[in-house]
Structure formats: structure tokens, C-alpha cells
Structure 1
Amino acid sequence: MAQFKDFNFKLLVIEQLMYTDETLTPQFHLVDLLRQKGLGDDAYNYAQQYGLAYKMVPEARDHFAALHIDDDLLAGVEELVMDGGLQVYQECAPIWDGEDDLFDVASLDDLALLPNLRRVFGSEFLTSEQRDVLVARGIVAD
């Protein structure tokens, strides 16, 4: 079982597999979880009511942290997109504007889990050292 070291890197992989490729199922939607728990049907209001503006909703973080991703799915990841408007970010933090480091990738140690990764779009959100790591591995850093 793949163990991610950087939770925010895992979120990028989840975005690709769950919301773009739709191969990691079922798709997670925070509002569905809130309904199941009897906590309402509006993720934005929930976050606002519980002081979770600009923070990750713990239930979403817990869900994604526990999510198992099979090695065969990981092997199918050829590109990742880094962008403040990703669906996975909206599911984690319904009130977030992209103006802080909440979803910044701190480490690229998890690249080893993606043997076929060829391109990272939005790499300007990485440090120059992280971009150098991508290039050294033959990954296009757009």
C-alpha cells in the first residue's frame, strides 16, 4: 500500500485520479458527508459556522488521509496540475482563496509513487529547488 509523506502532494494525485480521470471512485463530496452526519447541506455555511474559513474541514482531511490508492492507479498518473481552483481543495476547504500556504507541497519525496509522471502543470507554485528535482527526474515543469 502506498504511503504518502506529503498530504498536499497526495491531494494533487487525488485531484487527478478522482476528479479529472474519474478512476478513483467514489468521488468524495463534502456536502454528501455533511448530509450523512446530519450537519446540513451547505459546505460553505458549515465551514463558516464552525470557524473553518481558510482551514481544512477535519472530516474532509480525515477522509483523504485515510484514502487508499492502489499502485496500479498511481502508475497511471502521467501529469499533475497545481492550481488554487482544484476540486479537491474545494472539498477540503470550502472557504479558501488560495492566498496562503494551506495546500503548498512541502516535499516531493512522493514522486517515487508515480513512476510514469511526465509533467507538472503550475509548477510555479513550487520552490526553485523542487522544480529542479522535477527536471532532474525528466519531468516537464510547466
Structure 2
Amino acid sequence: MFQDFNFKLVVVEKLMYDDEVLAPPFRIADVLPSDDPWQYAYDRGLAYQVLPEARAYFSALEIAPALLATVDELVMDGGLRVYQECAPVWDGEDALFDIGSLADLALLPNLRRVLGSEFLGRELQAELAARGIAAD
């Protein structure tokens, strides 16, 4: 359904961690053989990467169109919880979670505002504006 994994993560943040309507909330610690996600990532050379377990979970996660229709605002910020669950060792200083495409906007018919849109770059900000979506 989603073409851009990182865009999907921003939508998941809204529905799972903010609105709490996409349940249960994913916790990387629940699916690892270790109770220390940081150590797990470091021991396997996965620091500053999306852990395979998180990528598999979020890639397979289906979100009903009715839930997607409830999304009217998205927040883009390096401190999103979904990013912490995907990459427990990540400092926000690279392009790991950069959104490359807004093709998935069609899945969010009621999206009206994107906060933190400066993280998208000029081209994607212009695409939001062309669709009548406020880019703050």
C-alpha cells in the first residue's frame, strides 16, 4: 500500500503513538531476544540503522483506509517515537528517515497540515502546497 517506508512511519506515529488508535503499540524490546535494544544494535553492527525486526513489522503492518482517513495532520520531527522503536541507536544527524516521495499522500484524503515540513525540502514542500496542504 505505502510506497515510501519513511512516510509510512510518520503516519504510524500519528495513529499508533499519538492517537493510539492503531494498536497494540509496537515496542522493539518486545520482539528482540535481548531486553536492551541499544546493546542488541551495537553487538550486531546495526547502530544508526533500522533494525530488521522493526522494518519487517512496519513493512507488513496494514492500516485500514478508515484509519488513514482520520489523519488530518502529520508531524515530522527527529524525535518521533516510531524512530526510536525502529533505530534505538540513532541521533537524527543523518538521512535515515528522510522522506523521498509524497506519492502516498493519496492514502490520506483528509490531510490538511504537515508540521516540521522543513525536513522535506523545497520540492516536497511545493508538492504539499500544490495539494492545498499547509506546510508549517
Q: Secondary structure at the match of 2:42?
A: helix
Name the residue aligned to 2:129.
135
Q: In structure 2, what is the Cα distance between the partners aligned to 1:125 and 1:95? A: 20
SS at structure 2 position matched to 1:54: coil
**For the aligned residues, what is the CA RMSD?**
0.5
Q: Give secondary structure in 2 for the equivalent of 1:120.
A: strand
% identical aligned pairs: 65
- Normalized against structure 1, the TM-score is what? 0.94
CA drift at 1:129: 1.1
Q: Report the AA paired with residue 74 of structure 2.
A: L
Does the residue aligned with 1:107 lie in a helix, a strand or coil?
A: coil
| Structure 2: unaligned runs, 5 residues or longer | none
* Cα deviation, residue 83, structure 1: 0.4
Aligned to 1:30: 28
Distance of 1:40 and 1:107 partners within structure 2: 34
* One-letter amino acid of the structure 2 residue matched with residue 52 of structure 1: L
Runs of 4+ displaced beyond 3 Å: none
Q: CA deviation at 1:127?
A: 1.6
Give the equivalent residue in structure 2 for 1:16: 14
Residue 92 (structure 1) aligned to one of 62, 86, 96:
86
What is the alpha-carbon distance in structure 2 between the residues aligned to residue 30 and residue 95 of structure 1?
12
Deviations 1:14-64 (A, max 9, x none): 000000000001100000111xxxx11011111111111100100000000
**2:109 pairs with one of 96, 115, 122:** 115
**Structure 1: gaps of 5 or more residues:** none
1:70 aligns with 2:64: yes
Partner of 1:45 in structure 2?
Answer: 39
Aligned residues: 136
Q: Is residue 82 of structure 1 aligned with residue 76 of structure 2? A: yes
Q: Distance in 1 between matches of 2:10 and 2:120?
A: 13
Q: Name the structure 1 match of 2:2.
A: 4
- CA distance in 1 between counterparts of 2:35 and 2:53 reads 14
